[in-house]
Amino acid sequence: MKINNAFVTFFMQTLPFMGATVLCILIYFVWPSVDHFGPVYLNWINVGLLFSLLIFVLIFGIRHFKSSRKSSFNLRAKLVLVMVLMVLLPSLILQVSANQIINKGFDVWFDVRVDTLLDKAMSLAQGFYADIEEDMELSLKQVIDTHDFPDLEPTPLGSLVLNQYMEKLLNKHGWGKLELFDASERLIATAQKTARNQGLDDLKTQPVSDAGRLSIALGRYTIDHDIRDDGEYVIGYLPLFAQRRLVGLFRAEVALPEEVTASARSIEADYRTYKELDRHRQGIQDTFMNTLMIVMIFIVCVAGFFAVVFARRLTTPVEELAAALEQVKAGDFDALVEVNSTDELGSLAQSFNSMIERLKYNMQTLTETQSELTNALVSSRQRQYVLENLLANLHSGVILLDASGEIRLMNHTCKALLMFPEQGNEKASIYDFSEVHLKAILTFFETLQTQRLESLQTELELTYGLQTVKILARGTLLGSEDDVFSGWLLVFDDITQLADAQKHRAWAEVAQRLAHEIKNPLTPIKLSTERVKRRFRDQVDNVDVFDTCTDAVINQVERLQRLLADFSNLATLPQPNMETVSISSLLQELKELYSPYPNLTFEGMPDGEVFCDPDQIRQVLINLIDNALATQAHVRVYVEVTDKDTRFYVQDDGQGIDESAKEHIFEPYFSTKAEGSGLGLAIAQRISEEHHGQLLLLSAASPTRFCMWLPHTQPHHSREDEA
Amino acid sequence: MFKTLTFSFVFLIFPFAYAAGDAPVEETHVHIEKGVVYCDVQTFNQEAYILKVIGSGSPMTVFWQFEVFQVRDYWLDKSVVSIRLGRQVIPDLVTQRWLMRDLSGGLVKYTSDAEEAMRFLTQMQHAAVVDVSVLDGAMNYTLETKLFTHEGESEDKSWWSSMTDWGEDMGSVSLQLPMTDNHEDK
C-alpha cells in the first residue's frame, strides 16, 4: 500500500511535467514548415496556444511539486486534472475521429478517377483550341499556296480588287476578320463579317502583336492567341513578300465560340484548382487539423480555466478549514472561517465555527477547572506536607486506617512506640499486627470496629522482651459509609513516665500523710516520756530499769523522727534549683565542715564550675562522706573534670560491701547499719538523676569507691520541661 | 533557468532543426563590369517544384533578394544595399502557353515551353546589384542572396508572412573589389 501511495504521489508530481513534454512534442509538430501551404497563422495560433498551455502547465507543475505536501493543493490539482481530462479525452477522440474522416474524405476527393476525368476534360479543351489553330494554319498555308493575291503596290487603297480578294479569303476560310497591314504596320484594308449588335468600337483595329512581328522576322506565318474583353480569338499572321521584300502583312482572326471558351476556361480553372489542392493536399489536411486543434486547445484552455476557478472556489473553503484546523491544533481557538455560501461547504464552515466556539468554551472551562484543581492540589500537597511534618515530629503514634483495615498512613513515632521488630516492620494492614505484643493493638481496633464505636480510649501495656511500655490508645471513626473516605484514626501516646510520675506522686502523698500522721504523736510521746523520766525517776524502785526503758522510748522516738524526716525528704524532694557553682568553693565548704575528721582528706581543688543545685549536691556528698566515715577508715574525696562532665569520687579503705548488699544498695529502706533508714543512697541517687547525672558504685570491694558525675550543661529538653 | 531552457528549446532549437533538413542547392556568381556588381544565381532544388506548379496551371511568382553587407568584426554586419527583383509566370493551360513577366522591368513574353518558363523563374542572370562607387574599397563586403517563392500572381504581404517567410538562402558570396578597377571606373 505504501508503494502504491508513493507511486501515486510520484505520478501526481510528475504528471504536469509529462504533460509539458507532450505539449513540447505537439509544438514541434505544429510548428510551420518552410514549404507550408495554407494559412500559416493557424500554425502560429496553435503554437501560441500550446506554448501558453505549456507555460501554464509548467507553472502549475512547479507549484504542485513545491506544495505537494499540502493536501488541499493536491485536492485542487486532482480536481483540475479530472476536469481537464473530462474535456480533453472527448476532444482528443473527436480530433482523432475528425482526422480520420478528413483523410478518408481527401482520399475520396482526390480519387484517381477524378484526376483522369479532369485530365481528359483538359485535353479536350486543349484539343479544341489546337484544332482552331490548326485550321488557321491550314488556311494560311492555302493562301500561300494559291498565290492569287493581287499586287499590292499598284493597287490603290480601297480598290475594288483588293476588297474583293479579301472578301473572298474571308468567306473562303471562314475567318471573322481579315486585315492587311503594309510594311510599316499601317492598316491598308479590312474585311470582316458583320454581326448583330456590332458597333463602331468593334471596327477598331488591334495593333500588330509580337507574334505578327515574329512572322515578319521569320518570313512565315505565325499563330497567336488573343484574349479580349469580348472573347478569345485565334489570330494568324501571314507576311506578304514581293521580290523578297515585305510588302504587307495579313492578319486573320477567328473568334472562338463564347460558350466553348467559357467551358474550356472553366475546365482550366477547375483543373488548376484541383491540381493546386492535390499538390497541397497535406497542407489542407494540416489546415483542418490545425483548425480542429485550435478549437480543441481553446476548449481545453477554457475548461482548464473554469476548472481552476471552480477548483479554487471549491478548495478555498477546504483550505481555510484545514488552516483553521491547524490553528486549532496549535491551540488557537480564535480561528474561525468565513461563511461565504449557503451550500454544503457553507454549512460545513458554519458547523465548524460553532464547533470551535463550543470547543473554545469547553477548553476555557477545562483550563479554569485545571487551574482550580492545580491550586487545590498545591494546597493539598501543602497540607499533606504540613501533616507529614506534623506527624513526623509528633510524639504520638498515629495510624490512619481505611474501612478494610488497610494502613493508609503511619508515622515513625508509632513504629518506635509500638516497638515494631526490625525485620518486617512494614505493615500493610492492621491485621498484619501478628506479633504477640501487638495483639492488644489489634484487639483494641477490633473492639472499635465490631462495636461500631465512634471513639474509644483505653490504656494498654505492651511488653516486648524486657521492655514494658504503657500507652494511651485512642481510636476515632472517620466519616461514614456514604462518605468518600471512611476509616479509623488510631492515636497512641506513651504514658509510661506519666504513670510512673502519677504513681510516685501518689505514693509521695501517701508517705507524706503517713509520716505526718506518725510524726504528730511522736513529739508528745517523747515529751511525755522525758517528763515521766524527770518526774517519776525518783519514785521508781529500779532506776536502772526505768532509765533504760525511758531512754529506749526516747531513742526510738528520735529514730522514728529521723526516719520520718528522711522519708518525708524522699517523698517531697523539691525540684533542684540549678545554678553555676564553683567546684573549689563547694569542696572548700565540705573541707571546713569535716575539718574535725583527720582521716578525711580532700585531694586537689580543681578550677571549674558545675551547673547544679548546690544544696542538694552538698547533701549527696555529705551522705557519701558520712557513709565512708562510718567505716572508721581513711577516706579520700577528689574531683575529676572532663570535657563533658564533672566527677566527684568518695573512696574509703573500709572492709567493702558484700556482693549481696551491692545489688540493693540504692534501693530505699535498704541499709547495712542498724540505725540507718536506708534512704540516704536512694535520695542521693535520685538527686543525681534529677541533675541528669548518675551515682554509681564503682568498686564494692575495698577500697570502696562511689562516683557521682554531673554533666557540664543541662540537656535542652530539661530547660523546655522547666519552661 | 528553467524558463531559459524552455524558451531556447522551443524557439531556437526547433527552427534550426528544420533548417538543417533543407540544405540549399544553389549556384551564385558575382562579377563586376564597368563599375557595377552583377550577380548570376540559379537554384536547383526549386526546379521540380516550380515546374510542377506552373505545369499544373498555377501562377508562380518569385522574388530574388540581393543584399550587400559590410563586414564588421565586432558588431553585426551592416546592410549597405538591398534590391529585390520579381519574376512571374502565368500559365494558360488551354492554349498551353506560359506568360513570363518580369515585374521589375515590365517585360512580358509568352512561351510554349514549360521548362523555359521554369528557368525564367529559377535563374537570374546578370542582375545588377550595386554600383561599385557606393562601396568602400577598404572594406569587406558580402553579397547574400535569397529566393522568395509564392504561388499565385500576387505576393503575400500579410504581417505574419513577413514574419515567418525568411526565404531560401542562396548563399553568401564575398565581394572582392579590385581597387584599381574601382578607381578607374570612378
Domain shared by A260 and A157, yes or no: yes
In a domain, A329, yes or no: no
Peptide bond into A574 cis (omega under 30): no
Distance from CA of B88 to the nearest CA of A (A): 17
| pLDDT cut 70: percent of chain A above it | 90
Decide: B81 and B129 in contact? Cβ < 8 Å: yes
Q: How far is CA B109 from CA A130, A231, B56, B98, B117, in A?
A: 20, 21, 19, 8, 10
pLDDT in tens, A94-110: 888 988 888 888 888 88
Chain B residues in contact with A271 (beta carbon < 8 A): 56-57, 93
Domain shared by A398 and A388, yes or no: no
Local structure of A520: helix, strand or coil: helix
Chain B residues in contact with A279 (beta carbon < 8 A): 52-53, 56, 58
Which residue is closest to A125 within chain B, CA to CA?
B94
pLDDT in tens, A416-452: 888 887 766 677 888 888 788 888 888 898 888 888 8
Do A225 and B18 lie within an 8 Å CB cutoff?
A: no
Closest Cα partner for A438 from A465, A418, A422, A423?
A: A418
Do A129 and B95 lie within an 8 Å CB cutoff?
A: yes
List the CATH number of the domain containing A674.
3.30.565.10
List the CATH number of the domain containing A143.
3.30.450.20
Task: Indicate if ipTM > 0.85.
Answer: no
- A279 contact B CB<8A: yes
In a domain, A685, yes or no: yes
Which residue is closest to B60 within chain A, CA to CA?
A276
C-alpha cell at A488: 479509623
Chain B residues in contact with A31 (beta carbon < 8 A): 14-15, 18
Which residue is closest to A210 within chain B, CA to CA?
B109
* Residue A498 DSSP label: H
C-alpha cell at A254: 477567328
Position B52: which residue type? K
C-alpha cell at A369: 477547572
Of A348, A368, A393, which closes a domain? A393
In a domain, A528, yes or no: yes
Domain shared by A389 and A399, yes or no: no
pLDDT in tens, A482-541: 666 688 889 999 888 888 778 777 877 787 788 778 878 888 888 988 888 888 888 888
What's chain B's length in residues?
186
Nearest to A126 among B2, B94, B151 (CB): B94
Domain shared by A311 and A347, yes or no: no
Decide: B92 and B98 in contact? Cβ < 8 Å: yes
Of A462, A494, A526, which closes a domain? A494
Q: Which of A12-26, A234-248, A359-373, B168-182 has the highest mean pLDDT?
A: A359-373
For residue B55, how many other CB atoms are within 10 A of its CB? 16
C-alpha cell at A433: 499486627
Decide: A385 and A416 in contact? Cβ < 8 Å: no
Do B58 and A27 lie within an 8 Å CB cutoff?
A: no
Q: What is the pLDDT of residue B24?
A: 47
Do B93 and A122 lie within an 8 Å CB cutoff?
A: yes
Nearest to A276 among B9, B18, B58 (CB): B58
Nearest to A268 among B93, B109, B151 (CB): B93
Decide: B39 and B30 in contact? Cβ < 8 Å: yes
In a domain, A24, yes or no: yes
Which residues does A276 contact at the CB level (< 8 Å), separation at least 6?
B56, B58, B151
- A126 contact B CB<8A: yes
pLDDT in tens, A123-168: 999 999 999 999 999 998 888 887 766 666 555 555 777 788 888 8
Domain shared by A643 and A715, yes or no: yes
Nearest to A40 among B22, B96, B160 (CB): B160
Which residue is closest to B160 within chain A, CA to CA?
A41
- pLDDT bracket for residue A371 (50, 70, 90): very high
Determine the Cα–Cα distance for residues A440 and A424; give it in Å rounded to an integer: 19
Q: What is the pLDDT of residue A153?
A: 59
Do A58 and B6 lie within an 8 Å CB cutoff?
A: yes
Domain shared by A316 and A302, yes or no: yes
Nearest to A275 among B2, B6, B57 (CB): B57
Helical ranges in A147-192 per DSSP H: 160-173
**Average confidence (pLDDT) over B105-116:** 88
Q: A710 lies in which domain range?
A: 577-722
Give the CA radius of gyration of chain B: 19
Do B160 and A33 lie within an 8 Å CB cutoff?
A: no
Domain shared by A140 and A99, yes or no: no
Q: What is the pLDDT of residue A372?
A: 92
Mutate: best of B16, B95, B98, partner A, most A CBs <10 A: B95
Q: Is the pLDDT of residue A293 over 70?
A: yes
Domain shared by A545 and A614, yes or no: no
**Average confidence (pLDDT) over A91-96:** 86
In a domain, A123, yes or no: no
Lowest mean pLDDT among A375-384, A573-582, A673-682: A673-682
Determine the Cα–Cα distance for residues B92 and A507; give it in Å rounded to an integer: 168
Nearest to A272 among B49, B52, B57 (CB): B57
- A115 contact B CB<8A: no
Residue by residue, DSSP assigns B19-37 as HHT----EEEEEEEETTEE
* Residue A712 DSSP label: S
Local structure of B70: helix, strand or coil: strand
Q: Specify the number of domains making up chain A.
A: 6
- Does residue B91 or residue A283 have the better pLDDT? B91
Lowest mean pLDDT among A194-198, A342-346, A521-525: A194-198
Do B94 and A264 lie within an 8 Å CB cutoff?
A: yes
Distance from CA of A312 to the nearest CA of B (A): 26
Sheet arrangement for strand A231-241: A187-192, A177-181, A246-255, A231-241, A222-228
Domain shared by A479 and A455, yes or no: yes
Domain shared by A670 and A596, yes or no: yes
> Taking the C-alpha atoms of A614, A616, A618 and A623 in order, what is their torsion angle to the nearest 10 degrees?
-170
Mutate: best of B94, B97, B161, B165, partner A, most A CBs <10 A: B94
In a domain, A256, yes or no: yes
Lowest mean pLDDT among A327-341, A376-390, B72-86: A327-341
Decide: A631 and A637 in contact? Cβ < 8 Å: no
Position A150: which residue type? P
- A17 contact B CB<8A: no
Domain shared by A483 and A365, yes or no: no
In a domain, A117, yes or no: no
C-alpha cell at A282: 497535406
Determine the Cα–Cα distance for residues A269 and A241; give it in Å rounded to an integer: 42
Domain shared by A361 and A445, yes or no: no
Do B2 and A58 lie within an 8 Å CB cutoff?
A: yes
Q: Is the pLDDT of residue B149 over 50?
A: yes
In a domain, A365, yes or no: yes
